[in-house]
A and B are shown apart, each in its own frame.
Chain A
Amino acid sequence: MRVEYINPFVESAYSVIQEVLGVEVKRGDLYLKSTSMPVMGVAAIVGLAGDVEGRVLFDMSKETAIKIANGMLSSMDMEPIETLNDMGRATITELANMITGQAVTKLHDLGFTFDLTPPAIFTGDNMEVSDPGVEALIVPMDIPQGRVEVNVAVRERA
Chain B
Amino acid sequence: MEKEVYSLCFMCSVRCPIRVLVKDGQVKWIEGNPQVAGMEGSLCPRGSAGISLLYDDQRVKSPMIRVGERGSGHWRKASWDEALDYVGDKLKDIIEKHGGHSVVLGERTQLATHVSKTFLKAIKSPNHFTHDALCKGSVNTACRSLFGYTDAQMSMDYKNTKHIVMYGRNLFEALEVKPVNNLMVALEKGAKLTYIDPRVTITATKANRYWMIRPGTDLALNYALIHVILKERLYDAAYVDRWVQGMPELQDFIHPYTPEWAEKETGIAANGIVDLARELSQDKPSVIFHFGYRGANHPNEIYMRRSVMILNSLMGSMEAPGGYFFKKGPGEEGGKPARKLTEQEFPKIEVPRFDKVGTPDFPLPDPNHGVGQMLPRAILDEDPYPIKALIAYRFDPLMSIPDTSLTKKALDKLDLVVAIDINYSDIAWYSDVILPESTYLERTDSIQQANGLKPQMFLRKQAVEPRYDTRDGAVILKQIGERLGIGNYFPFENMDELVAWQLEGTGFTMEDFAEKGFVAYGKKQIFWDRKTGIKFKTPSGKIEFKSSLLEDAGFESFPAYEPMPSPPDGQFRLVVGRNALHTHCSTQNNPYLNELCSENELWINEKKAEKLGIGNGDMVEVKSNKGSGKIVAKVTELIHPESVFMFHGFGHEAEKAARSYKKGINDALLMDNISDMIGGSPAMHETFVTVKPV
Bind each other = no
